[in-house]
């Protein structure tokens, strides 16, 4: 949300940290206020300097994070992995994500800092956010940083 901009001004982009999100059709009202909902996959909840193009006014954002499903996290290697296992240390139970058998899946989210065992059908490179994971055919132990 922004305020104290010039009235009826088009906001073309939101700049945050190292990223830029282009905006289409976002214009301030006659009082110089505007609002937009922006989704940025992989953006961690942390303080970020936010500016707009064109600059001006005061901009504030509420950054919310949602659970990152295994399917979303591994979309870059879809079809190349067989399953993902994770040990929930709190409950001492194993959680599974198998893309071919959704009914048995109990791994609901991939969490930063947790370790996952990923069984690959073939070698692939997964790029997620600013992280690159080189995954070999067979089992891979990954500390998820996404």
Residue pLDDT tens, the chain, 146 long = 788 888 888 988 888 766 788 888 889 899 988 888 777 666 655 556 777 888 877 776 666 666 688 998 999 999 999 999 999 988 999 999 999 987 889 999 898 889 999 999 999 999 887 889 999 999 999 999 87
Which residues does residue 87 pair with via DSSP β-bridges, in sequence order? 94
pLDDT at 132: 92
pLDDT at 126: 94
Tokens of 52: 């707009």
pLDDT at 79: 96
- 37 Cβ contact partners less than 8 Å away, ≥ 6 residues apart: none
Cα–Cα distance between 88 and 107 in angstroms, integer? 9
Tokens of 17: 């940290």
pLDDT at 78: 95
Percent of residues in the chain assigned helix, strand, coil, to nearest 5: 5, 35, 55
Quote the pTM value. 0.58
- 35 Cβ contact partners less than 8 Å away, ≥ 6 residues apart: 1, 2
Residue 17, number of CB atoms within 10 A of its CB: 13
User: How would DSSP label each residue in 24-80?
Assistant: SS-B--TTS-B------TT--SS---EEEES--SEE----------HHHHTGGGTTS
Which residues does residue 88 pair with via DSSP β-bridges, in sequence order? 93
Q: How would you class 25 by CB atoms within 10 Å of its CB: exposed for 0-12, middle for 13-18, buried for 19 or more?
A: exposed
pLDDT at 44: 58
């Amino acid at each position: 949300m922004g305020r104290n901009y010039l009235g009826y001004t088009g906001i073309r982009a939101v700049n945050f940290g190292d990223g830029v999100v282009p905006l289409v059709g976002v214009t301030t009202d006659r009082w110089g206020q505007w609002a937009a909902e922006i989704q940025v996959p992989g953006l961690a909840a942390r303080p970020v300097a936010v500016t707009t193009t064109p600059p001006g006014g005061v901009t504030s954002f509420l950054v919310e994070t949602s659970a990152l499903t295994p399917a979303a996290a591994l979309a870059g290697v879809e079809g190349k992995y067989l399953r993902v296992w994770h040990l929930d240390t709190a409950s001492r139970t194993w959680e599974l994500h198998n893309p071919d058998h959704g009914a048995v899946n109990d791994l609901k989210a991939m969490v930063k800092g947790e370790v996952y065992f990923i069984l690959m059908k073939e070698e692939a490179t997964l790029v997620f956010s600013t992280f690159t994971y080189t995954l070999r055919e067979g089992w891979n132990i990954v500390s998820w940083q996404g």
